[in-house]
Structure 1
Amino acid sequence: MNRLYRFAVLFVCSIVLGFAFNLFLLPHEVLSGGITGLAMVFGLLTPVNTGLWLVILNIPILIIGWMKLGKEFIWNSIFSVFTTSIAMQYIPVLKVTDDALLSTVFGGVIAGIAIGFIIRFYGSTGGFDVIGLVLTQKRDIPLGGLIFSLNSGVVFISGFIFSWDLALYTMASIYITGIVIDRVHTRHIKLNLMVVTDRGDELKNELISNLIRGITVMDGQGGYSNTERKVLYTVISRYELAFVKSLITSVDSRAFVSISETVEVIGNFRR
């Protein structure tokens, strides 16, 4: 059921991405970034459809992802890329609005939401998404900002091929998409978790069994009651928070839990 749900989300979001391209961005020659943007350039300049270019240009990128990110990720990405490609064959290229700025904003937002959920459900749209995910394995860099940086070269290409007005619209679209991706894909956000509990050993064992995280256990004492308690401290990703909260509640519903966002993690932290 989890796998079926994941593929359903990837399927829907990939089609939504096709709508963002064909109804908002392509009609005004506002490009997406990276490999997708190059596919749009070739699609506008040649009789070959943008969706087919998307598949051709993504082949070497997906090979890199296979080696660095694993088979499941790449199969999900291939599924997403092919779904978007096929959807773009059937979705007509129509102008929803004649205002290029409105199309840039809404196209960027819709694309950002779709890409953000595709990445969140362990897939990608290929291209620089894969390169960005490989790089974020080494450093806690916001993925949307990294993709924006990698994609900026497409802006200059579109400026020389089309016009600098369209290049600036492209830059705005890529920037908006990057911001929205970071609002949806929040794996780079790390949280400090401190738990004060009467059931320290049991909770520690549950956390270690269900999380791939190190836990520091300290002895604590209630300031008013003088009761001995255990204090558990660890750092988790934003994605793990909902699961950890439910796990803590199931073990000790009276535990005191403090959660705060951390600026940076240095040391042995599994990303």
Structure 2
Amino acid sequence: MRNIFTIIIGSLIVAVAYNFFLIPHHILSSGLSGIAIMLGFITPINTGIFNFLLNFPLLVLGFIKLGKRFIFYTILSVVVLSVGLYVIPVVQITTEPLLASLTGGVLTGVGIGIIFRSSGSSGGFDIIAMLLTKKKDFPLGALISAMNGIIVLISGFIFTWDAALNTLVAIYATGKVIDTIHTNHIKLTLTIVTKKGEEMKEKLLANLYRGVTIMNGEGAYSGEDRKILMTVITRYQLTDVKKLINETDRDAFVNITETTEVMGLFHRG
């Protein structure tokens, strides 16, 4: 239920960013939503309807490749966003296009980042990016930004090049904020020194889909035997892992370092 609630909130934030900041200044968002906004400008059909229709084929692809739960959350996000675009009035909050592109881009990134953190996506290019990041450790926001060059070009040819540059600013801001919130591509190495090695190992293996390496150690001052556990996790998992370690051994010594690269067998999901 928490994921469902946060996905709804994130989708509504994106809808507000579009209708209050981007659409009033003919600024496009990233991905298929940007195409939906553009079609909403040049036809009498509402942007929300286009957003749903354009996302439908990728929802089918996501169902096949990314699993039922992910696609359920994505469908929820697409529906809430489409309804939000239809219901929320288009209001020009600021008369300054650059300010609108920055604010709209940041709000869009916040909304999409929240959706990603809740194991969903807002559809469109997000699904393609999620498929790619399951294979390689690419920053998700950077991937989405890279796939949006065509949106900027379309904006320049159909509207004005000022609008295209503002679209570029909005897309860049969105990508940066997504990478700040959705940190799944960042890997951390944990070195845990504990008296409760077996119990800690069982807890980690039961709650994380990660391998754990165990080494024997000895306290230099106390001379007592210790177990040293090493594992690599994603930045997104850190809060849960810290809680798990604290519940198992409050006196455990834990060293956390950011990992530049992981080679060999490592589950990237």
Note the C-alpha offset of 1:71. 1.1
2:249 and 2:2 mapped to 1: Cα distance? 31
Specify the alignment match of 2:202 in structure 1: 205
Deviations 1:209-268 (A, max 9, x none): 111111111111222223221110000111211111111111111111000111111111
Letter in 1 for 2:168: M
1:200 and 1:28 mapped to 2: Cα distance? 59
Deviations 1:96-151 (A, max 9, x none): 01000110111011110001001110111110000000000000111000000011
With normalisation by structure 1, the TM-score equals 0.97
Deviations 1:171-206 (A, max 9, x none): 110000000011111111110000011111111111
Specify the alignment match of 1:248 in structure 2: 245
Alignment of 1:163-202 (within 5 A): 163-202=160-199
1:190 and 1:225 mapped to 2: Cα distance? 33
Q: Which runs of 5+ in 2 are unaligned?
A: none
Specify the alignment match of 1:268 in structure 2: 265
Specify the alignment match of 1:239 in structure 2: 236
2:42 and 2:108 mapped to 1: Cα distance? 22
Alignment of 1:35-184 (within 5 A): 35-184=32-181
Q: Percent identity?
A: 49
- In structure 1, which of residues 9, 26, 36 is the aligned counterpart of residue 23 of structure 2? 26
Letter in 2 for 1:228: D
Q: Which runs of 5+ in 1 are unaligned?
A: none
Contact 1:31–1:41 (CA under 8 A) maintained in structure 2: yes
Please identify runs of 4+ aligned residues in structure 1 that moved more than 3 A: none
Letter in 1 for 2:72: W
Deviations 1:38-89 (A, max 9, x none): 1111111111111111011111111111111111111111111111111111
1:42 match: secondary structure: helix
Contact 1:34–1:153 (CA under 8 A) maintained in structure 2: no
2:193 and 2:124 mapped to 1: Cα distance? 45
Letter in 2 for 1:201: E
2:147 match: secondary structure: helix
2:99 and 2:212 mapped to 1: Cα distance? 49
Contact 1:33–1:152 (CA under 8 A) maintained in structure 2: no
2:31 and 2:251 mapped to 1: Cα distance? 50
1:136 and 1:34 mapped to 2: Cα distance? 17
Specify the alignment match of 2:12 in structure 1: 15
Contact 1:61–1:127 (CA under 8 A) maintained in structure 2: yes
1:246 and 1:9 mapped to 2: Cα distance? 22
Specify the alignment match of 2:226 in structure 1: 229
2:148 match: secondary structure: helix
Specify the alignment match of 1:219 in structure 2: 216
With normalisation by structure 2, the TM-score equals 0.97
Letter in 2 for 1:212: Y
Letter in 2 for 1:21: Y
1:124 match: secondary structure: coil
1:246 match: secondary structure: helix
Contact 1:77–1:123 (CA under 8 A) maintained in structure 2: yes
